[in-house]
Amino acid sequence: MKKILFAATFALFASTQVFAIAGIGVHYITNTGSLGASTGSITFTEPTTGLSEQMIVSQEKSEGLKGLGFKLWIDLLPLVDIEGTFNIAAARYNTTLIIPAMGKTIPLNFPVEAPYSMLFDGGASPIYGIATGDVSVTYPFDVIPLITPYIGLGVSYFISTPVVNADFVEKVVATVDITDPTAVDGIGNAVVETLKNSDYESGMGGHIIAGVRVKPPIIPIAAYANCKYYFGGNTNSKFSQGLVLEVGGGFAL
């Protein structure tokens, strides 16, 4: 009798996996990549002396990106599953302007009005952010009741924010009299205005995905963890893409 009960329980668990056809969830993500440091200089002519002077722009390295994402998966096809994911992740970094001729060192910490405050946290150092939309086709291994490991490939669309480095600040110099101390002190606001009119970088790429999903019987919830490696796209050249880890859960049929 115990053997029959055990077999029936096992069959129930296994059938729960077969008929878990769709789900939607939210997850925490971390990207092990980082934005590399860069230092550059901008040359300008001092009008009172006619001499060439330099502004040094020092942009520091960021840590790994953190953020949130959303996932929708469908298990209707007989051999493969399809899932769509939208992720937003960001990391803070520091950029400093140094003007030796004027004896000025200016950290770019500036107040920003909405909606751009989301990029600068309302008045702090800038943030590098990436939004990614993924469509993945995965092959599941339904060998363990309740647990479904899977691997697959997919396409990705990237959108990333501009980086406030020497190349970016050079656009601002054309609109600000950097020999005017008052204007220099307010250069942060000029950077923001330039940022408002700047296009985000975007492009198509791809990814490799490996993950696992846990779906208990009867209860309409599931937990999942994914690891993704991205390639291609059009993120900033100073950003080195790392592994992206997604851990979350949600509602599952």
Angle formed at CA 35 by CA 29 and CA 41, multiple of 5 degrees = 160
pLDDT tens digits, one per residue of 27-76: 999 999 888 888 888 876 665 666 677 888 888 888 889 999 999 999 87
- Residue 246: pLDDT over 80: yes
The token pair at 37 is 């440091």
pLDDT of residue 124: 65
Give the span between the Cα atoms of 73 and 253, in whole angstroms.
10
The token pair at 27 is 């997850």
Q: Which amino acid is at 184?
A: V
Q: Residue 51 belongs to what domain range?
A: 2-252
pLDDT tens digits, one per residue of 164-222: 888 888 877 766 665 565 555 566 677 777 777 788 888 899 999 999 999 888 889 99
pLDDT of residue 174: 65
The token pair at 103 is 């004896």
CB 10 within 8 A of CB 18: no
Between 39 and 143, the higher pLDDT residue: 39
What band does 133 get if pLDDT is binned at 50, 70 and 90? very high
pLDDT tens digits, one per residue of 81-131: 999 999 999 888 888 888 776 777 777 765 555 555 555 444 567 888 899
Give the span between the Cα atoms of 163 and 211, in whole angstroms.
32
Between 104 and 7, the higher pLDDT residue: 104
pTM as predicted: 0.77
CB 153 within 8 A of CB 25: no
What band does 18 get if pLDDT is binned at 50, 70 and 90? very low
The count of structural domains within the chain is: 1
The token pair at 148 is 């479904």
What band does 142 get if pLDDT is binned at 50, 70 and 90? confident
CATH code for position 46:
2.40.160.20
Nearest Cα residue to 37 out of 60, 57, 58:
60
Helix (H) or strand (E) holding 164: none
Alpha-helix residue ranges (DSSP H) falling in the chain: 2-18, 117-120, 166-173, 181-185, 187-196
